[in-house]
Chains A and B, each alone.
Chain A
């Protein structure tokens, strides 16, 4: 009966004290998943295994020996992480029905700490997109579309039309995970973040979305988009929870040679009382074309908040930001072209019936297995990697990437602790609006404020900040120094406390379980 709680502050304690059992919690989540099925947040619901895991957790709790804070906590995982025994599809025909024989390291770590895996969440095919609209399972609907806050403010039309044409996208590509956390069907979810795929939907769905430093969390078992930028992302309802999940996932993995060698020490976030020693940078280049006035206003309000609390707030410049999207496009498609080469229908995944020759089998398999977006990226990536183009595109893009990364190094070296930027250009747009533009245009626009952090490998977090005039969430992004997650999250937590982002008011959740509301405020950390 603590569905809406935060891990650290409420649920974990409730579990520990026996106010709620892992099985109850799991069952509630499962039935909420069912009643919010129209959101299309989940691709696979692993009801049976989840209940079994909950049962095991319950035994541990009864013995008074839980495995940790996460023991018994229901979580969801984006469907581009391998999960042994549970289908892993990447929302692609290529992997439909594919059951991996192994768990991604992050999934294994969650399970090892007693988390209950509810299922796999929806995404854009192979995480290529910024709307969670381009997967074979159809688009994810933003839970806020059905919130009292949004409905109250949207232009009244006939009721049915309203529901069908006014619902807004979640952003992406981890839209399923963001929607799952936002609609209370799980307490934390894993996303992936290559150009903003965790922070973007987090902003649109009003949840916390953390993209850790590249190399802090293992990518082993994450089906790659861009290996040199991919990072498992964490979606939670509050910053403290993000820190808890981060603590349970971070650290060296012998199976991923790009993870840091040093030991990672999980941390608790202090309650910052004094921000006067902080230096907050406001990168002027993030005042990008297309930035809505509403978000701009919110951004400067946030800057004032820090200033008024005594922090040093200074405008800084990241001069190469404007080249970031073009550069990203080249590097991303090149790696995509390479990473997708393995999907040939021979070892696993979809295989075409065409068997005239090996080549025709490959061609048909890949044509049938991938959508236009994936195929388009494969084609452009291969173009950039051609011998005659390599210098002009790939090498140049790598050099620009270095310049972008150096921009951040310089700013942080100048004494700035944290950068504050918007996460998205605007609040979430209705699906009907969104699909007027193609995936490429959308991705280029939507990643603009987020993907420089991926280029530089830096940690960044979306913190839900306020509701827009339309009643939709708007988030701001904090970007920190490499491996300085503790500092980043501490500042984010302070900010979270100041802005008091409102809770989503969902009819479905209310209808589903009145107890949820009744208990969620009473359950608190002892």
Chain B
């Protein structure tokens, strides 16, 4: 009798647990992709909260009712209260990592529209890289800071090859003729020098924010004011999720870009940084001066300007960090689950043909 009772009980209990497990798994999967309505994490002890205010009338809502009051009844990937739990949302120094789903575009546009800002974009199309300009600018017109004033600063040695692209209102292309270098590493590194030089001549006066991009990219999805902040760095897509030990920081103490083992927060991409003009000026000036010191010591950082950028952003933490959504390579890295949008993509190129020509 005893064992029979126990067997019956066991079956009941197991069934119940299976029901809960299946329900839990379903809700977990459903709520990860379709965030259901709610305003915050846990309902408050409603009775007690009111006493704190000494109100005569207790304005309690039972929870089912409160949910129905929500203004936005649509169940979708909302911004306000839904949460990305699959990715880190903040750096340890409280800089937001601007993942899709964490911000509300409307609120941010409201904040920025009133300030009449101009965003400057610096792109370097030296030698054969001019061929990337057309796609870059065309996609930028569709996706980059739509509705804001944008100045494209095209640094090139072939001003005649700069394509004429129809631009939206308030946007313009400014071509700056600069010298080229024979080695592609030098071209890449001298970007820092050129940006810092032009700051005094142009950027301080004309723009509020600077975004310094690689030109062999195309915009694929919305890139807007959510990325603007005092100092912005982007996580290198090839190193996202990797252990700090695998980061290709400069490891030789002789270089100015040296970061010892066990140090460093993230591996930032050399081809996407930005911020307020003053901050970008400081960054580019510091990187350029560090590269000059390295040159006099006859050492070149393993990843050139990217190593120096990483050193600078290690010492001067960025105020916003952009996730790999803002710089991705679909051919090399595929489409992992944490990537909801690919905002900028690398354009496939033949390295041997393009460089050093």
Q: Do A and B bind each other?
A: no
